[in-house]
Amino acid sequence: MFDDIGNLMHGFSVVMQPHNIVLMVVGIVLGVIVGVLPGLGGANGVAILLPLTFSMSPTSAIIMLSCIYWGALFGGAITSILFNIPGEPWSVATTFDGYPMAQQGRAGEALTAAFTSSFVGALFAVIMITLVAPLVASFALRFGPAEIFSVYFLAFCSFVGLSKEPPFKTVASMMIGFALGAVGLDQMTGQLRLTFGFETLLGGFDFLIAVIGLFGIGEILLTMEEGLSFRGKSAKIDLKIVVQTWKQLPRYWMLSLRSCLIGCWMGISPAGATPASFMSYGIAKRISKRGHNFGKGEIEGVIAPETAAHAAGTAALLPMLALGVPGSPTAAVLLGGLLIWGLQPGPLLFVEQTEFVWGLIASMYMGNIVGLIVVLTCVPLFAAILRIPFSVIAPIILVLCAIGAYTVNNNTFDVVMMLVFGVVGYFMKKANYPLAPMVLAIVLGDKAEESFRQSLLGSQGNLGVFFSNWLVGTVMTLGLIALFWPIIQNGLARVRGSIGSARPVQ
């Protein structure tokens, strides 16, 4: 424990180096822009900028990239409140009360509340990561292949149980991700598979290309279809409004605490920030005395989803750091970055790369403080970006995506693949297939397969190895519950329905 505090202090000294502070500010600003613009999300923005960091030290690289992530989390709130357009899926719930507040001329108040509660949520989650992650990691050091596979299993099953898309669509999307991830060289036998003689498939499908295509190009196509025209409320934010709003915020400490807890809990499971923000909003509406006022410009309706979304977004890094299982698409991209920099994500990171891990954790504290200052001072600037018409922004984003896709492997064929993934992403999104499990499966496919095959190798093909001790058995059982949750829920509802059958059924 005391070692950890020492490590954290050392992390702060790394983060405080001038060039790292500069990278942090650059990352935050880029992140907010990425969060504000349609077609560029956190995952996609980090994926595009990842190749730029190949030449940096891993610690500087992760500082910049994680700051892009914080920036994107902050940025989503700006468009939701001023333009009624959620820049990110997790800020949809913020539009419910944020935009009405802006319409009433309380934009400054709403923005201050949103940014501050984002900050509070993130801080809560970072403190939790600081305290919990080393414990989880040291516990996970004892994991064998079967335990590692069970954690992957739980992560993927939670997608099926928790996502709002139909379960079989989630399964299909996830398994396509695994299939794409399996193309190319088989790491265990050194054999080529699923390439069907195409040379371009030898290296397999790169998840960065998939992310840029699915989230970047796909999103632009969707935005184009909807024909968005941005008509925003003006953003005036000055010190007086900030101080006034800060004065009222402590009144909502209970709401904040609850939203933080919801966020952390949801963030650790791979369902992520979006459901956390909705859940927090929904619960706040039910519990609050002013619940009837929700949707008409209630400040509590801004605090609840923003706190939870930011807490969840931050907490998503806990399983990535401690177990090597990312809790969100953006965390998955960061994890891919670790692999590219030559670091092995997972519990060993805490032992072998202490400077990196604690530098990252320290940068979470610093990045969110810097982020809060940047967004509070520069809101009008960021809002002005959205006033640039989409017909100018769209081709520039397309070019950025192409550059990002090219730089992954210095290969122009990847740019073609990016467009293919983009069109595929458009159709999948329209047909209600979730994209996040697919991306996670492409990233983790090899590792999940490796642990699965190693476990079977140890047990000579006996599937009982996944229930051979209480730990692996418990995690697998939790996974199965998550997998069959839609059916279980259905069953429970039916049982309840038959008890209360006096009520008319719709």
Partner 1 sequence: MSESAHETGGTGPSHRSVEAGVAVAAGILGAITVIGSLRVGIGWGDEGPKAGFFPFYIGLIIVFSSVVNLVQLFAAANNNAVFASWGQIHKVLSVVVPTAIYVAIIPYSGIYVASALLIGLFMIWLGKYRAIVAVPTAIAVPIFFFVTFERWFLVPLPKGPLEKLLGF
In the complex with partner 1, the residue whose CB is nearer, 19 or 292, is 19
Residue ranges binding partner 1 (CB under 8 A):
51-52, 55, 166, 168-169, 171-172, 175-176, 178-179, 182, 186, 188-189, 191-196, 217, 220-221, 224-227, 389, 391-392, 394-396, 398-399, 402-403, 406-407, 410, 412, 415-416, 418-419, 422-423, 426-428, 430-433, 449, 452-454, 456-457, 461
Neighbouring CB atoms inside 10 A of 244's CB total 12
Contacts of 276 (CB under 8 A, 6+ apart): 90, 262, 263, 265, 266, 267, 308, 309, 311, 312
In the complex with partner 1, the residue whose CB is nearer, 179 or 369, is 179
**In the complex, what is the shortest distance from the CB of residue 81 to partner 1, in angstroms, rounded to a whole number?**
20
Count, in order, helices (H) and strands (E) of the chain: 23, 2
**In the complex, what is the shortest distance from the CB of residue 134 to partner 1, in angstroms, rounded to a whole number?**
33
In the complex with partner 1, the residue whose CB is nearer, 293 or 411, is 411
**In the complex, what is the shortest distance from the CB of residue 337 to partner 1, in angstroms, rounded to a whole number?**
15
**In the complex, what is the shortest distance from the CB of residue 399 to partner 1, in angstroms, rounded to a whole number?**
4
Q: What's the token pair of residue 99?
A: 């935009």
201 sits in which H/E element: none
In the complex with partner 1, the residue whose CB is nearer, 121 or 404, is 404
Answer yes or no: are the C-beta atoms of 426 and 222 closer than 8 Å.
yes
Nearest to 432 by CA among 164, 245, 203: 164
**In the complex, what is the shortest distance from the CB of residue 92 to partner 1, in angstroms, rounded to a whole number?**
10
Q: d(Cα 313, Cα 266) in Å, to the nearest integer?
A: 9
Q: What's the token pair of residue 20?
A: 């790292």
**In the complex, what is the shortest distance from the CB of residue 462 to partner 1, in angstroms, rounded to a whole number?**
12
Question: Torsion angle, CA of 448/450/451/455, rounded to 10 degrees?
Answer: 140
Long-range contacts of residues 350-355, Cβ cutoff 8 Å, at least 24 apart: 350/133, 350/134, 350/137, 350/138, 350/321, 350/322, 351/137, 351/141, 353/58, 354/7, 354/10, 355/10, 355/11, 355/14, 355/59
In the complex with partner 1, the residue whose CB is nearer, 168 or 246, is 168
- Alpha-carbon Rg of the chain, whole angstroms? 22
Answer yes or no: are the C-beta atoms of 486 and 167 closer than 8 Å.
yes
C-alpha distance from residue 87 to each of 1, 147, 154, 221, 461 (Å): 39, 38, 30, 15, 47
In the complex with partner 1, the residue whose CB is nearer, 310 or 447, is 447
**In the complex, what is the shortest distance from the CB of residue 486 to partner 1, in angstroms, rounded to a whole number?**
12
Nearest to 53 by CA among 367, 336, 439, 366: 336
Neighbouring CB atoms inside 10 A of 399's CB total 10
**In the complex, what is the shortest distance from the CB of residue 88 to partner 1, in angstroms, rounded to a whole number?**
16
The amino acid sitting at 436 is: A
Beta-bridge mates of residue 192: 185
**In the complex, what is the shortest distance from the CB of residue 30 to partner 1, in angstroms, rounded to a whole number?**
11
The amino acid sitting at 9 is: M
Q: Is the dihedral of CA 42, 43, 44, 45 positive or negative?
A: positive
**In the complex, what is the shortest distance from the CB of residue 360 to partner 1, in angstroms, rounded to a whole number?**
21
In the complex with partner 1, the residue whose CB is nearer, 358 or 426, is 426
In the complex with partner 1, the residue whose CB is nearer, 261 or 398, is 398
In the complex with partner 1, the residue whose CB is nearer, 2 or 196, is 196
Q: What's the token pair of residue 505?
A: 């059924």
**In the complex, what is the shortest distance from the CB of residue 168 to partner 1, in angstroms, rounded to a whole number?**
4
**In the complex, what is the shortest distance from the CB of residue 453 to partner 1, in angstroms, rounded to a whole number?**
5
User: Look-up: residue for tokens 């992560």?
Assistant: 155
The amino acid sitting at 56 is: M
In the complex with partner 1, the residue whose CB is nearer, 189 or 498, is 189
In the complex with partner 1, the residue whose CB is nearer, 2 or 198, is 198
In the complex with partner 1, the residue whose CB is nearer, 132 or 423, is 423
In the complex with partner 1, the residue whose CB is nearer, 9 or 457, is 457
**In the complex, what is the shortest distance from the CB of residue 199 to partner 1, in angstroms, rounded to a whole number?**
16
C-alpha distance from residue 83 to each of 90, 95, 96, 281 (Å): 15, 9, 12, 20
Q: d(Cα 161, Cα 489) in Å, to the nearest integer?
A: 10
